[in-house]
Chain A
Amino acid sequence: MISVTVDGISVELEEGSSVLDATMAAKVYVPTLCYQGNLERFGACRLCLVEVEGFRKLIAACTTPATEGMVIKSRTPEIDSMRKTIVELLLLHHPLDCLVCDKGGECDLQDLAFNLKVTKDRFGYEETPLSYDKMDSVILRDMSKCVLCGRCVRVCDEIRNIGAIGFSKRGIFTEIGYPYNRLVHCEMCGQCIASCPVGALNSKISMFESRPWQIEKQETICSYCGCGCSFVLECKGARVVKVSSDESKKHDVNSGLLCTKGRFGYGYTNSPDRIKTPMIRKEKGEELVSVSWEEAIEFVSEKLTKIKDENGADSIGGLGSSRCTNEDNYLFQKFFRDVVGTNNIDNYIRGEHAPTLVAMEEMLGLPGVSNDALDSMGESDCIIVIGSNPSNTHPYVSLIIKQFVRGNGTKLIVIDPEKMELSRFSDSQLRVVPGSEVSLLNCMTSLLMKNSKGVSALDGGKKLFEHTSKYTTDKVAKTCGISAEDIETVVNTISESEKISIVFGERLVSQLNGTDNVKALINLGMVVGVFDDKKGCGFYPLRSSNNVQGCSDVGVLPDFFPGYERIGEAGSGDGLSAVSANTLPGSVGKNFYEMLDAALSGSLKAMYIMGENPTLAFAGAGKIVTALKKLDFLVVQDIFMSESAELADAVFPATTYAEKNGTFTNLERRVQKVNAAITPLFDSLGDWEIIQRLACKMGANYSYKDSGEVFDEITRTVSSYEGITYEGLADHGTFWPYNDNGEPAGSSSISPKIMKPALVEQGDIEKTSQEFPFLMLPVNILFHHHSGAMSSRSEGLNMLSSEAICEIASDDAKLIGVSDGGMVEIRSEQGCIKLKCNVVIGMKKGSVFVPCNFKDAPVSSLFGVTSETVGFRALPVKITTAVEG
Chain B
Amino acid sequence: MSLSPELMSELEQIVSRYEQPAGGLLPSLHRVQEEFGHIPEYALESVARLVGVPKALAYGVLSFYTLFYTEKQGENIILACESFTCSLMESEKVIGEVERVLGIKAGETTADEKFTLYSVPCLGDCDKAPVLMINWKMYENVKKEEIASIIDTF
Contacts and interface: CB of A to CB of B under 8 A. Distances in A.
Contacts of A157: 54, 57
Nearest to A180: B41
B60 interface: yes
A185 B55 CA distance: 9
Contact of A163 (B45, B56, B63): B56
A167 interface: yes
Most buried by A among B56, B60, B64: B56
Interface in A156-179: 157, 162-170, 177-179
B55 A163 contact: yes
Interface string B16-55: 0000000000000000000000000100110000000111
Given A168-B64, A169-B63, A163 B41 contact: no
B41 A166 contact: no
A747 B53 CA distance: 37
A182 interface: yes
A652 to B, nearest CB: 49
Contacts of B41: 179-180, 182
A184 B44 CA distance: 13
B59 interface: yes
Interface in A305-363: none
B15 interface: no
B64 A179 contact: no
Dominant SS at the A interface?
loop
Contacts of A164: 54, 56
B45 to A, nearest CB: 8
Contact of B57 (A163, A180, A182): A163
A182 B55 CA distance: 10
Most buried by B among A164, A166, A178, A184: A166
Nearest to B44: A179
Contacts of B45: 179
A589 B114 CA distance: 83
B70 interface: yes
B64 A180 contact: no
B131 interface: no
Nearest to A184: B55
Given A168-B64, A169-B64, A170-B64, A180 B59 contact: yes
Interface string A181-192: 010110000000
B80 interface: no
Interface in B41-87: 41, 44-45, 53-60, 63-64, 70
Nearest to A183: B56
| Range for the number of chain B residues in contact with chain A | 10 to 19
B22 to A, nearest CB: 12
A193 to B, nearest CB: 17
Contact of A168 (B53, B54, B59): B59
Contacts of B63: 168-170, 177
Contacts of A163: 53-57
Contacts of B58: 166, 179
Nearest to A161: B54
Contacts of B44: 179-180
Contacts of B60: 166-168, 177
B91 to A, nearest CB: 21
A425 B63 CA distance: 26
Nearest to B48: A179
B70 A166 contact: no
A182 B45 CA distance: 12
Nearest to B40: A180
Nearest to A162: B54
Contacts of A170: 63-64
B70 A165 contact: no
Nearest to B59: A179
Interface in A46-68: none
A569 to B, nearest CB: 54
Nearest to A174: B64
A163 B57 CA distance: 6
Interface in B107-154: none
Nearest to B42: A180
Interface string A561-576: 0000000000000000
Contacts of B59: 166, 168, 177-180
A179 B60 CA distance: 8
Most buried by A among B41, B44, B45, B54: B54
Contacts of A178: 56, 59
A182 B44 CA distance: 13
A157 B54 CA distance: 9
Nearest to A164: B56
A671 to B, nearest CB: 37
Contacts of A177: 56, 59-60, 63
A169 B53 CA distance: 17
Given A179-B41, A180-B70, A185 B56 contact: yes
Given A165-B56, A168-B59, A168-B63, 13 more contacts: A157-B54, A168-B64, A177-B56, A177-B60, A179-B41, A179-B45, A179-B56, A179-B59, A182-B41, A184-B55, A184-B56, A185-B55, A185-B56
Q: Pick the 10 closest A-B CB pairs, nearest first.
A: A163-B54, A166-B60, A179-B59, A166-B56, A168-B63, A180-B41, A166-B57, A167-B60, A178-B56, A163-B57
23 contacts: A163-B54, A163-B55, A163-B56, A163-B57, A164-B56, A166-B56, A166-B58, A168-B64, A170-B63, A177-B56, A177-B59, A177-B60, A179-B41, A179-B44, A179-B45, A179-B55, A179-B56, A179-B58, A180-B41, A180-B59, A182-B41, A184-B55, A185-B54
